Amino acid sequence: MIASLLVANRGEIACRIVRTCHDLGIRTVAVYSDADEDALHTQLADTAVRLPGASPAETYLRGDLVVKAALAAGADAVHPGYGFLSENAGFARAVRDAGLTWIGPPPAAIEAMASKTRAKRLLGIAPLDHVTDADLPVLVKAAAGGGGRGMRVVRRLADLGAALDAARAEARGAFGDGEVFVEPYVENGRHVEVQLLADTHGTVWTLGTRDCSLQRRHQKVIEEAPAPGLPGELERELCRRAVEAARAVGYTGAGTVEFLVADGRAHFLEMNTRLQVEHPVTEAVFGIDLVALQLRVAEGHALEPAPPAPRGHAVEARLYAEDPAASWAPRTGRLHRLAVPDGVRLDTGYTDGDTVGVHYDPLLAKAVAHAPTRAEAVRRLAGALERAEIHGPVTNRDLLVRSLRHEEFTGGRMDTGFYGRHLAALTTPAPDPLAPLAAALADARDPARSRFGGWRNLPSQPQIKRYALAGEEHEVRYVHTRTGLAADGVRVLHADPTRVVLEADGVRRTYRVARHGERVHVGADVLTALPRFPDPGRQHAPGSLLAPMPGTVVRLAEGVAEGAPVRAGQPLLWLEAMKMEHRVTAPADGTLTALHAAPGTRVEVGHLLAVIEEDDR
């Protein structure tokens, strides 16, 4: 029996594992980096051990330090969660060699499936050893790890060499393994996976299918269970092949086998020898706790001969601190408020007031809705996200709501090319036209901000406030009257610092308002309060190239130096932010007249990276 368990992870998955352990009466130990000293998972666990440093390579990827922490804290088991060391066979062996219980499959099974090339060959699938024009498009893919890192789609043979180099560099930085391989790229297929759970007595459960087709940068955004619209014969084939893969390596514990489904055929992708990020949708449909079952399997208990019967449908959306309209750039800053309405499961590693930093994945939370039918689950999740209070960095919330309501998704016709086709339309701003007025009226009723309070004996001059909303500047005018605040064309029924009620064209609307510094949240809209006069100190010279996100400069492109000619779209440097590398390119043809970045430089949003003097036309 496990008495004390160390969670070798952070964020929402660490919090989720801790909660199950507490339900089972198991004591918990957290590990944390310096950046995570006050993180939620350290507060929920019974004890916590510091891993000195901030980057993953210094902390959560140091298996020796994690094992040492488990022994020091008196833990007798280790759960790796997902990511980091969860699919590292050497770490699993080190845990076992230290006399601790490993919550996962045998190290040999991890090793067999950890390399996607070995896994494919084990199942009789050979990667492409030589690529010709006839093979295009192809996908360059890291042999180790996951999460979309170390992957590049190649459509021209001339681009293959650069794609291989970039994928190797990213894979080496993310996983410590630069091995990559090439396979055919299946356009617009569906990403479908099978959840497995196997015990040490020979029983292997298949817990239905999941569809994870909505992806950005090969990372999943929305997942659901079961995968909608699969023919029964195809679903049985997927489950059969998943069981065969598990039995081929003597698998035990929770795992997932992933496929790309196109033209009625299933193409094996990989086996993830760990718990998946999207496991809550399977839990909701089968009424189980996969972490609790992982622990039972690790303790040697036998599974029932068959899993519970599934019921209903579940959908999960990943809420990221990122801007989909700006090439999915991650965002950082203080998360003032995160809350969703009742009836939706929220798995998160953040609490109000936490800071979203630059060192880790930008995942804020996972929201999960379960209902008797798919349509009801989708509607419930979209409505909950729309009404959620998310105050802080820019997020993908609006994209999630629009995606869930898109006719392709509601009709079950989505595929992995969904965002390639629809991203522009899904990220077109559609702010509420009354949001700036609501912000101004709430501000006018805030004693801490309003210099003049209420009605005066003399006729009031219009008060003017300016806001930036969805890339545009809005000027708002209102007046104080004997009966309260007034604005042209709109009846002001109520206004206080957090709630404004307006009536326009006979329709009454209530707005929840929250201000944090110069950022004002009005419902789902986010505004920036503008000063009356711009700060000349914030102006930059023409041709200035500014950092689109906070991060670290990891490398410069070859030949990039002051005085060098550049062309529009040419890569200049790469920023590493939240476990991903982001390419920064020249905005126009010209000459690089100044360079303010070098490898290792830490930058914030808006940091001046370079100045390009455009060619005369």
Phi and psi at 309, nearest 5°, equal: -75, 140
| Among 108-112, 128-132, 320-324, 496-500, the least confident range | 128-132
Give the tokens for residue 478. Answer: 């209102």
pLDDT of residue 534: 55
Tokens representing residue 335 in the block: 């998360």
Residue 572 banded pLDDT, cuts 50, 70, 90: very high
pLDDT-derived band of residue 128, with 50, 70 and 90 as boundaries? confident
Beta strands in 200-264 (DSSP E): 204-216, 219-225, 253-262
How many CB atoms within 10 Å of residue 249?
20
Residue 617 has pLDDT above 80, yes or no: no
Q: pLDDT value at position 532? A: 66
The enclosing H or E element of 120 equals helix 116-122
From 3.40.640.10, 3.20.20.80, 3.30.1490.20, 3.30.2010.10, which CATH number describes the 113-184 domain?
Answer: 3.30.1490.20
Supply the CATH classification number for the domain 190-426.
3.30.470.20
Query: Residue holding tokens 């209070």?
Result: 389
The pLDDT of residue 540 is 64
- What is the pLDDT confidence band of residue 124, given thresholds at 50, 70 and 90? confident
Helix (H) or strand (E) holding 75: none
Q: Where is mean pLDDT largest: 70-79, 472-481, 545-554, 603-612?
A: 70-79
pLDDT 10s digits, 91-102: 999 999 999 999
Q: What is the tens place of the pLDDT at every residue in 372-386?
A: 999 999 999 999 999
The domain defined by 536-614 carries CATH number 2.40.50.100 = yes
**In the predicted model, what is the mean pLDDT of residues 501-520?**
96
User: Distances in Å between the alpha carbon of 106 and those of 294, 348, 364?
Assistant: 13, 29, 31
Of 393, 474, 483, 470, nearest to 439 by C-alpha is 474
* pLDDT score recorded for residue 219: 93
Classify residue 488 by burial, with Cβ atoms within 10 Å: 0-12, 13-18, 19+.
Answer: exposed
Predicted pLDDT of residue 130 = 87
In the predicted model, what is the mean pLDDT of residues 528-550? 71
Mean pLDDT of 301-309: 98
pLDDT for residue 303: 98
Ordered by start, the domain boundaries in the chain are: 4-103, 113-184, 190-426, 435-529, 536-614
**pLDDT score of 431 more than 60:** yes
Task: Let me know: does 588 contact 568? Beta carbons within 8 Å.
Answer: yes
Catalytic residue among 274, 345, 402, 515: 274
The per-residue pLDDT for range 447-502, each reduced to its tens digit, is 887 655 554 555 567 899 999 998 888 999 999 998 899 999 999 999 999 999 99
Structure tokens at 430: 């559609």
- Start-end of H helices in 466-594: none
- Rounded to an integer, the average pLDDT of 4-31 is 98
Which is higher by pLDDT, 585 or 36? 36
Q: Which residue has the tokens 């390119």?
A: 585
pLDDT on residue 460: 61
Q: pLDDT digit string (tens) for 215-266?
A: 998 899 999 999 999 999 999 999 999 999 999 999 999 999 999 999 899 9
- The per-residue pLDDT for range 137-183, each reduced to its tens digit, is 999 998 887 767 889 999 999 999 999 999 998 888 777 788 899 98
Q: What's the topology of domain 4-103?
A: Rossmann fold (3.40.50)
Length in residues, the chain: 617
Tell me what percent of the residues of the chain surpass a pLDDT of 90.
74
Q: What is the pLDDT of residue 451?
A: 58
CA distance 169 to 166: 5
List all residues 6 or more positions away from 464 whose beta carbon is below 8 Å from its beta carbon: 475, 476, 477
Q: Which two tokens stand for residue 17?
A: 């594992």
DSSP 8-state assignment for residue 324: G
pLDDT score of 582: 78
* Whether 121 is catalytic: no
Q: Is the pLDDT of residue 606 over 90?
A: no
Q: What are phi and psi of 451, to 5 degrees?
A: -80, -25
Range 435-529: architecture per CATH: 2-Layer Sandwich (3.30)
Q: Residue 579 above 70 pLDDT?
A: no
Structure confidence at residue 340 (pLDDT)? 97
Residue type, 145: G
Tens-place pLDDT, residues 199-208: 999 999 999 9
Q: Which of 132-141, 278-287, 309-318, 531-540 has the lowest mean pLDDT?
A: 531-540
Contact 332, 356 (CB under 8 A): yes
DSSP 113: H
CB 252 within 8 A of CB 106: yes
SS3 561: coil
User: Residue 535 — very low, low, confident or very high, per pLDDT cuts 50/70/90?
Assistant: low
- The residues, any chain, with a CB within 8 Å of residue 495's CB and separated by 6 or more, are 441, 442, 444, 445, 484, 485, 501
Mean pLDDT of the chain, nearest integer? 92
**Rounded to 5 degrees, what are φ and ψ at 389?**
-100, 110
Report pLDDT for 125.
Answer: 80
Statement: residue 536 has pLDDT above 60: no
Share of the chain above pLDDT 70, in %: 95
